[in-house]
Copies of this chain bind each other. A is one copy, B any other.
Amino acid sequence: MNEKELTRLLRGVRGGKLTIDEAVAKLRALPFEDLGYAKVDHHRELRTGFPEVVYCAGKTTRQVIEIARCIAVRHHVALCTRCTPEVYAAAAEAFPQVTYHEAARVMVVGKPPKPSARAKPIAVVTAGTADVPVAEEAAITAETMGCRVERIYDVGVAGLHRLLVHREQLEQAEVIVVVAGMEGALASVVGGLVSAPVIAVPTSVGYGASFQGLAALLTMLNSCASGVTVVNIDNGFGAGYFAALLVKRKR
């Protein structure tokens, strides 16, 4: 509630259009719905441009479905990440329209917007085949938020020419999500090649001294290429969301 709305509200009080109780209610009322174990934040779409997203890990099937319903009713679409096939099976019975992206472990309840054909695409790039699930989480998230995505998979630095052949495609992207485990060097190489901003996603792919993604994370944080920022290990959702934010704000 900004100053202008506040002035209008107070004028309404003085002019008698609003009772004091009504004004108190307006000032106090906050747009969330309380399910006891969860407080669904309906205000978030206004505040951040996209409705609350359901992070399914650590929630029961019943909780996920109730929260998703609560969001989909008001916002047309509910994005559910880290979603198991079991939860999807239950959701498939509960909702008329629901899609499950198995590799990405993402469930979409309701109908996501059509991507705008005019906007430049988001490129989602992986170093290896094993990084694809995290990349898909990013891609599906961005698509559900109405963006166009181009997937360029398995172009890690051990065979640099595989990446170089996609150079032009990378240059034409609005923003690039680079998903890589093991040593995570791909983010720096892409960041050094093109002018688009790069969102780097370290993955837990690897073994031994990869320490479940720590190696890739540190690599990306220390990138000598300048236009690179980083999200949490395996956080495809965060990267896809941030990329979509950039595309949508530009329009």
Q: Could you say which of A68-76, A89-97, A108-116, A159-167 contacts chain B?
A: A159-167
* CB pair A229 B231 closer than 8 Å: yes
B2:A168 contact, CB within 8 angstroms? yes
Protomer copies: 8
Given A157-B189, A194-B47, A249-B197, are A3 and B20 neighbors across the interface (CB < 8 Å)? Answer: no
Chain B contacts for A189, CB-based, 8 A: 157, 160, 185, 189
**0/1 interface trace, chain A 220-234, chain B, CB 8 Å (1 if under):** 111111111111111
CA distance A217 to B162 in the complex (A): 26
Give the distance to chain B from A228, nearest Cβ to Cβ, in Å. Answer: 7
Number of A interface residues at 8 Å Cβ cutoff, please give it.
Answer: 111
Given the known inter-chain contacts A48-B195, A129-B37, A161-B30, please indicate yes or no for A221 contacting B229, CB distance below 8 A: no
Which residues of B have CB within 8 Å of A36? 153
* Contact residues, A32-48 vs B (CB, 8 A): 32, 36-39, 41, 43-44, 47-48
Q: Decide yes or no whether A143 CB sits under 8 A from chain B.
A: no
Expressed in whole angstroms, the Cα–Cα distance for A245 and B195 within the complex equals: 8
Contacts of A59 in B (CB 8 A): 129-130
Answer whether residue A100 sits at the interface, using C-beta atoms and an 8 A cutoff. Answer: no
Alpha-carbon gap, A68 to B28, bound state (A): 36
Binary contact readout A154-186 vs B (1 if CB under 8 angstroms, 0 otherwise):
111111111011011000001000000011110
Instruction: Jot down 8 A-B pairs with beta carbons below 8 A, ordered by A.
Output: A32-B159, A37-B129, A44-B159, A47-B195, A57-B130, A197-B245, A218-B219, A222-B232
A positions within 8 Å CB-CB of B: 2-3, 6-7, 10-11, 13-14, 16, 20, 23-24, 27-28, 30-32, 36-39, 41, 43-44, 47-50, 52-53, 55, 57-59, 63, 127-130, 132, 153-162, 164-165, 167-168, 174, 182-185, 188-189, 191-197, 199, 202, 204-235, 237-239, 241-242, 245-246, 249-250
- By Cβ-Cβ distance, the 6 closest A-B pairs, closest first, are A58-B130, A208-B233, A185-B185, A229-B229, A215-B218, A41-B159
